[in-house]
Structure 1
Amino acid sequence: MTGRVCLLGCGFVADLYMRSLKVMPGIVVAGVFDTDAARLAAFCTHWNVPAKPSLEALLEEDALVLNLTNPHAHYDTTRACLMAGRSVYSEKPLAMTMEHARALNALAREKGLELTSAPCSVLGEAAQTLGHALRHGIAGQPRTIYAELDDGFIPQAAYRKWLSDSGAPWPFEDEFRVGCTLEHAGYYLSWLISWFGSVRTVVAASAGTVPDKEGRGPFAADLSVATLFFDKGPVTRLTCSIVAPHDHSIRIVGDTGVLSCDAAWDNAARVRFARRMVLRRRLIEHPLPRRIRLPGPTHPKVGRWGAAAMNFMLGPAEVLEAIRDGRPSRLGGDYALHLTEVSLAIQNAGESTGAQAMTTTCPPMEPMPWAR
């Protein structure tokens, strides 16, 4: 893939994009801007990429803008990019409210631009392998799915020692204020929506279980549990937390057995199928599940860094390809808007919201060519 990108924001996550860029030949960084001049200088020196003196200067470049700013800044910064005629790949969430997300979506459509949303692990090998297995009925008809995105008791972690390659600290205050659901639910929501399309109803609850986190509040919920009812898919339970023991597994229960994957943040995570069987009158899943593989090569991989082994540039590369080919991106339009609505519904559910009917829809995502 070839193309030009600009990075808006060079905090902690920006280094993960640059690490991924090293395995994606042909994509060039045309410029970088951050309001923190010292951070901008450190980042651009470390990665040997051109700094821009202002947002206006950055938007003079004919390039796809990767919006890596704080989520609370996404609406204003993305709107500025779209008004300048630049397509945008936004870190999650697209916006902090549906009003803002809808406005950005409408503006992008009006201007004929791509507005797309992370996370892009939905384009990765693990997600695409599970999708392939579902389409080919490996486990029979899927009946229910359990998906977990629990990160351990993060308020007691040594997060002040977490530094990116170029020296950016992990933004713990922002993380605690934005919340683990908006930050992480998309990693499995994107997979689920890509396979089954629209969520019809969200029944969720969210709560703050650790009120005395470090930093300035108010803090978002640190635990959410959601039951998702799809228009054309199995009932799914999704949990997100930064308090429960680490568990990033997904289990798809079908008529003949269970498909599973244990690592949402690893593009090359193993996908397994355990056939259901009766042994001495006991119903069990086979204790030695077989690995499910795609038949050919998939995409460039990156090494493990911290808790993840994800190629963060799979999304921007797909958007650049879509622009080149004159087609809509898999990660934009109705999909990005629906992913945002479901994420916000879970995040904001609280204790008594109850069932929420979604107002946006999207079809299942076209598989990657190597996963059909």
Structure 2
Amino acid sequence: MNMANTMSNAVSGAAVDVTTKAGTKAGAKTGIAFLGCGYVADFYQQTYANHQDSLTLHGIWDHDRARLEKFSAFYKLDCYASFEEMLADPEVEIIVNLTNPHAHFATSKRILEAGKHVYSEKPLAMEIDQARELVALAEVKGLQIVSAPSSVLGPAAQRLWQAVRERELGTPRLVYAEIDDGLIHKMGYENWLSTSGTPWPAKDEFYTGCTLEHAGYMLSWLVAMFGPVTEVVSMASLCIPDKGGDTPENYTTADFSCALLRFESGMTARLTNSIIAPHDHRLRIFCDEGELCAHEVWNFHTEVEAYPLARNKIQRGMEKFLHMRPKRKLAVAKNPKTKFAEGGHPMDFVRGVADMAAAVRMGRPARLGGAFSLHITEVTLAIQYPEIYGTPYVPQSRPAQIEPV
């Protein structure tokens, strides 16, 4: 391996003792590498420190040499001379794919063909047949593939899920889920830089679409709590075709979508995605005895609150006219060892990688493994492209119920 910088303490350590394709020996650290050093890579690097007891980052690579060298110098990380060198590194078991979404399929396929496990940024692939091919290839090779997001493994999601399982406000009946980010193209994103200095990739974000980029945050929570989606009714629209100087050529990707989802458990949900309506990342679950609400699904420790049903005329009047409701906070467990960089994202992006590594070491499927990730991808694609998938759409994938953390 060529050294761009001296290996820092953050990525040094003894070589991983690889025993079988299933993973390292129990108790040993799992070797990982980062493929791609773009905007999102900072979020992974900044939360890698939370998992150094189980993971060792052996190196990074990016096809953009200048970006690679800048990221390497900023974090004092070792970098590979080529993608091929990364694939050939015997100390690396899991490659974290942080490339452009349109490169996910080709790069993840090469990783699997090289005998490595894949943890991919979302989406797993841009087409459902590609996603199915990746999951099938991983199965044939006895490997694991997981796609972000992993926020469902965080304490806020787990506490909300517990409230649903234990019927803290009675039987859940309906879900409203919002991933609205406001008028992004008017927010001065030209000045948005990652901690290491990489600009926010506006054209890629607009071209890929807010639904493919963001719906998984809600869908992963909902599928965990209520089982697979069995029916999707969707409308998606490009409401603002001109987003200024970074508008992609031949831009037709929806900047708004609204989907009605039916789940195997019988639950019904409405999921909205947009980069138009004001910021709103709430997940609200309406139950027989009131409402459960997680206020910000992009925050691992977001407030989770219970709003009991208004029981009398005074309470109903306060709710209707004064927008005042009695509430109680549900305690969200906080691990004092979990740290977030100052000015960084309040999500532990490496939590999913660590969960996958634990699964590899133990020889069990990852919680968010291939079947789960494929389902999230399939439903997301059906929401963003109703003109392709049809509406209503019946997903073909049916992952097994995942276990709480």
Match of 1:311 in 2: 348
Kept after mapping to 2: 8 A contact 1:206/1:351: no
TM-score, normalised with respect to structure 1: 0.94
Percent of aligned pairs sharing the same letter = 43
3-state DSSP class of the match of 1:112? coil
Conserved in 2, the CA contact under 8 Å of 1:141 and 1:255?
yes
Match in the other structure for 2:123: 93
Q: CA RMSD in A?
A: 1.9
Report the CA distance between 1:11 and its aligned residue: 0.2
Q: 1:243 aligns with which of 267, 270, 276?
A: 276
**CA distance in 2: counterparts of 1:223 and 1:314, whole angstroms:** 29
Instruction: Answer yes or no: is 1:300 the counterpart of 2:338.
Output: yes
1:137 aligns with 2:164: no
* Distance in structure 2 (CA, Å) of the matches to 1:89 and 1:41: 23
Task: State the SS of the aligned residue for 1:320.
Answer: helix
Q: Is 2:290 the partner of 1:257?
A: yes
Partner of 1:8: 35
The counterpart of 1:320, out of the listed 344, 357, 366, is: 357
TM-score by length of structure 2 reads 0.87
- Confirm or deny: 8 A CA contact 2:382 2:390 kept in the other structure: no
Shift of 1:295: 6.7
Task: Pick one of 41, 51, 68 that aligns with 2:69.
Answer: 41
1:17 aligned to which of 44, 47, 52: 44
Gaps (5+ residues) in structure 2? 1-26
The gaps in structure 1 that reach 5 residues or longer are: none
Asked if 1 retains the 8 angstrom alpha-carbon contact of 2:47 and 2:341, the reply is: no
- In the TM superposition, structure 1's runs of 4+ consecutive aligned residues that sit over 3 Å from their partners are 281-286, 294-299, 303-306, 350-353
Check conservation: 2:50, 2:337, Cα contact below 8 A. Answer: no
Secondary structure of the residue aligned to 1:240 is: strand
2:57 to 19, 24, 29: 29
Distance 1:215 1:250 in 2: 30
CA contact (8 A) 1:207 1:351 kept: no
The match for 1:287 is: 325
Once residues 327 and 85 of structure 1 are traced to their aligned partners in structure 2, the CA distance between those partners, rounded to angstroms, is 17
CA distance in 2, matches of 1:346, 1:113: 29
Q: Which has the larger radius of gyration?
A: 2
DSSP 3-state at the match of 2:347? coil
Q: Distance in 2 between matches of 1:60 and 1:33?
A: 13
Change in Cα spacing, 1:156 to 1:297, as seen in structure 2 (3 Å) is: closer
What amino acid is aligned across from residue 234 of structure 1 in structure 2? M
- Maintained 8 Å contact 1:86/1:113: yes
- Residue 356 of structure 1 aligns to a residue in which SS? coil
Matched, 1:228 2:261: yes
Shift of 1:29: 1.3
